[in-house]
Structure 1
Amino acid sequence: MPHIKNAESAKLRIDKWLWAARFFKTRSLAIAAIESGKVEINEVRVKPAKSLDIGDLIAIRLGPYQFVVEVLLLSDKRGPAPQAQKLYKETEESIRRREELAFERKAQAQIVTRGEGRPTKKDRREIERFKSGAW
């Protein structure tokens, strides 16, 4: 995965970087997320053609989760995931919030009780008696 090495002249479009860093599967998805306001650079909404610099903080909302990452390297080539993870560093606060949210969502999923299926004939009779007030 070739990286742009000259930090002084290193600039890259945000949509290309998000795609290369594997936050989105296609550039079209990255552009759609940027245009809908789900991506911010240094707490400012941006357009897909916005230039990205090394050291910028990017906030990315993906579903219920929000990633806040610092740009370490710039690359316009999409490579394997281990190399893509070297392009950025997620902030400790972001990691903590995502883990808390994942724990809460998992706990809520366990609280939801699933029905046991269709009521039996006996259950239906009891429900009818309860509804009619004969209980």
Structure 2
Amino acid sequence: MSGAESPSPQSLRIDKWLWHARFFKTRSLAAKQVSEGKIRVNATKISKPARTIGPGDVLTFPQANAIRVVRVVALGERRGPAPEAQALYEDLSPPEDQPRQAPLARVGARPTKKERRRLINSRSEPLD
């Protein structure tokens, strides 16, 4: 190997970048999302996985049950660990509209079988 390192590229395919940044588990899943037209680059819908992106581009795409908006900060050389992947972008996603509901806290002891039957029977009685 020579001592000179290759300069980092100025642009990278969007499917490869989404995979490097760990938004999708496989590169083919990222390419599928792009092909289906579910990803926007700088507010423009794209449908070709070979579309190149660079630092400063803003990507909008669905992930799980949320819409993600991220700004590309760096391109990356490989699909590395999560902290390395998180350094590739700045998250611009709006905060969730609805706060997550905390699990219901148990109040008191568990009802006895007799109390459960009484509760079930009170629910099934017709209201006049």
Asked if these proteins are the same fold (TM beyond 0.5), I'd say: yes
Contact residue 16 and residue 76 of structure 1 kept, 8 A? no
Once the two structures are TM-superposed, the CA of residue 120 in structure 1 deviates from its matched residue by 4.6
Q: Distance in 1 between matches of 2:6 and 2:33?
A: 24
Amino acid corresponding to residue 30 of structure 2 in structure 1: A
Once the two structures are superposed, the pairs formed by residues 103-114 of structure 1 within 5 Å of their partners are 104=98, 106-107=100-101
- Relative to its length, the structure with more helix (as a share) is 1
Could you say which residue in structure 2 is the equivalent of 1:25?
25
Once the two structures are TM-superposed, the CA of residue 50 in structure 1 deviates from its matched residue by 0.4
Could you say which residue in structure 2 is the equivalent of 1:59?
60
Following TM superposition, where does structure 1 have runs of at least 4 consecutive aligned residues deviating by more than 4 angstroms?
119-126
The two structures, once aligned, show a CA RMSD in angstroms of 3.1
TM-score (norm 2): 0.69
Identity score, percent: 37
Note the alpha carbon deviations across 1:82-130, whole angstroms, 9 max, x for none: 1111111112xx2xx23x33xx1624987xxxxxxxx859946983x63
Q: Distance in 1 between matches of 2:43 and 2:117?
A: 57
Q: Which has the higher contact order (CA 8 A, sep 6+)?
A: 1
Q: Distance in 1 between matches of 2:86 and 2:119?
A: 58
Paired residues, what number? Answer: 113
Once the two structures are TM-superposed, the CA of residue 41 in structure 1 deviates from its matched residue by 0.5
TM-score (norm 1): 0.66
Amino acid corresponding to residue 83 of structure 1 in structure 2: E
Q: Distance in 1 between matches of 2:23 and 2:6?
A: 17
